C-alpha cells in the first residue's frame, strides 16, 4: 500500500497569537511556525504502518508558500520516503486545498490519504472530508486507532458520545486525532538523511484547479476580554462567594 500524508504549516501551538491592529488577520512575522499537531500524528501513523510491513511508501505533501516545505522536510526526517510541495501564495480555503490534493491523488494513486482532523489556525475541520467527497472515497474522521486488515481498515473514531468503530475499504481517507499515537522526534542523523530525500515542487497554477476564494474575511478582532477575577483565601470563602455573590450553587 502507498500512503499519502498531507501536512500544513501553522503558527506553533504554544504561541499566544496576536491580532493585527488593522484587523486584517493575525501577526505571523517572526512567529514560530510548526507542523499542525495532528498532521504529525498522521505522519507517525503512516510511518508505523510502513514499519509494520503494511505499506511500501509514504509520501508527504503540503500546499503552501515557500517555507511550507519545512513541514515536508520534517516528515521526511521522521520516516516519509519523499515529498511533494505544491507552491501557492496566500491562504487557500479548505475547498481549494482539497481540489489540489485531488489532483495529487490522481497523479500518485495512493491507497490511503492521511491528514490531521483539523488545522489549529483556522480550526475549519473540512479538508479530509472534502477530499473524500471529491474522490467519492470512504472517510474515517477523528481516528484514534487504526488496524490495517488487507484491503480494509478498521478505524476507531472519537465522537461526542464516546467511540465509534467503522470498517472502510481502501482507497480511503483518514483524518487523525491527537490520541492516535505519540509522534516521534527526528534524530539528528535522520534530519541529515532527510536533506537528501527528494521533494518535488509543483506550482498550484499548473494543476488546472480553480482556487479563487469564495469567502471574504471582512475583519479579524480580539475576542472580548474577561474581567479580572480575585483570589480567595480558602475553600470556605470560595463556597460562600459561589453561593452568595455569584449565586451559581
Q: Which is nearer to another protein, 97 or 194 (CB)?
A: 97
93 to 112: interface string for another protein, x by CB under 8 A: xxx--x--------------
Q: Which of 160, 188, 196, 208 is close enough to bind another protein by CB under 8 A?
A: 160
Work out whether 199 is an interface residue with another protein (CB under 8 A): no
Interaction of residue 177 with another protein, rule CB under 8 A? yes
Contacts of 164 (CB under 8 A, 6+ apart): 156, 157
DSSP 67: G
Q: Which stretch binds another protein (CB under 8 A): 51-59, 103-111, 157-165, 192-200?
A: 157-165
Tell me which of 118, 180, 202, 209 binds another protein, using CB under 8 A.
118
243 binds another protein (CB under 8 A): yes
CA distance to 12, 76, 238, 239, 241, per residue, from 227 (Å): 27, 46, 18, 20, 17
| Span interacting with another protein, options 51-59, 77-85, 88-96, 192-200, rule CB under 8 A | 88-96
Q: In sequence order, what are the residues at sequence separation of 6 or more whose Cβ sits closer than 8 angstroms to the Cβ of residue 19?
A: 25, 26, 27, 220, 221, 222
For residue 83 the three cell numbers come to: 515529498
Interaction residues for another protein, span 5-34 (CB under 8 A): 11, 13-14, 16-17, 19, 26
Classified as helix, coil or strand, 186 is coil
- Cβ at position 208, least distance to another protein in Å: 15
Among 43, 77, 130, 180, binds another protein (CB under 8 A): 130
Alpha-carbon distances, residue 71 vs 62, 224, 246, 247 (angstroms): 7, 33, 47, 50
Which candidate, 58, 36, 38, 32, places its Cα nearest to that of 47? 58
Task: Verify binding: residue 216, another protein, rule CB under 8 A.
Answer: yes
Residue 226's SS3 state is coil
With CB under 8 A as the contact rule, the residue among 30, 185, 195, 248 that binds another protein is: 248
Amino acid at each position: 500500500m502507498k500512503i499519502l500524508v498531507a501536512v500544513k504549516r501553522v503558527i506553533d501551538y504554544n504561541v499566544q497569537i496576536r491580532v493585527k491592529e488593522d484587523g486584517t488577520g493575525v501577526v505571523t512575522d517572526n512567529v514560530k511556525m510548526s507542523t499542525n499537531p495532528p498532521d504529525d500524528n498522521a505522519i507517525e501513523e503512516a510511518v508505523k504502518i510502513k514499519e509494520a510491513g503494511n505499506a511500501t511508501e509514504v509520501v508527504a505533501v503540503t500546499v503552501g508558500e515557500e517555507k511550507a516545505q519545512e513541514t515536508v522536510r520534517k516528515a521526511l526526517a521522521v520516516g516519509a520516503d519523499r515529498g511533494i510541495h505544491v507552491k501557492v501564495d496566500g491562504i487557500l480555503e479548505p475547498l481549494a486545498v482539497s481540489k489540489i490534493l485531488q489532483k495529487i491523488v490522481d497523479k500518485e494513486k495512493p491507497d490511503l490519504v492521511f491528514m490531521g482532523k483539523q488545522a489549529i489556525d483556522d480550526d475549519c475541520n473540512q479538508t479530509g472530508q472534502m477530499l473524500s467527497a471529491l474522490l467519492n472515497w470512504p472517510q474515517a474522521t477523528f481516528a484514534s486507532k487504526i488496524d490495517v486488515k488487507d484491503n480494509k481498515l478498521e478505524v476507531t473514531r472519537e465522537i461526542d458520545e464516546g467511540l465509534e468503530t467503522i470498517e472502510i475499504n481502501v482507497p480511503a481517507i483518514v483524518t487523525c486525532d491527537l490520541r492516535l499515537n505519540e509522534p516521534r522526534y527526528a534524530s539528528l542523523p535522520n534530519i541529515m538523511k532527510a536533506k537528501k530525500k527528494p521533494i518535488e515542487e509543483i506550482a498550484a497554477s499548473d494543476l488546472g484547479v480553480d482556487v479563487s476564494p469564495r469567502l471574504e474575511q471582512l475583519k479579524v478582532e480580539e475576542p472580548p476580554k474577561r474581567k479580572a477575577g480575585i483570589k480567595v483565601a480558602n475553600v470556605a470563602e470560595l463556597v460562600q462567594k459561589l453561593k452568595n455573590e455569584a449565586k451559581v450553587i
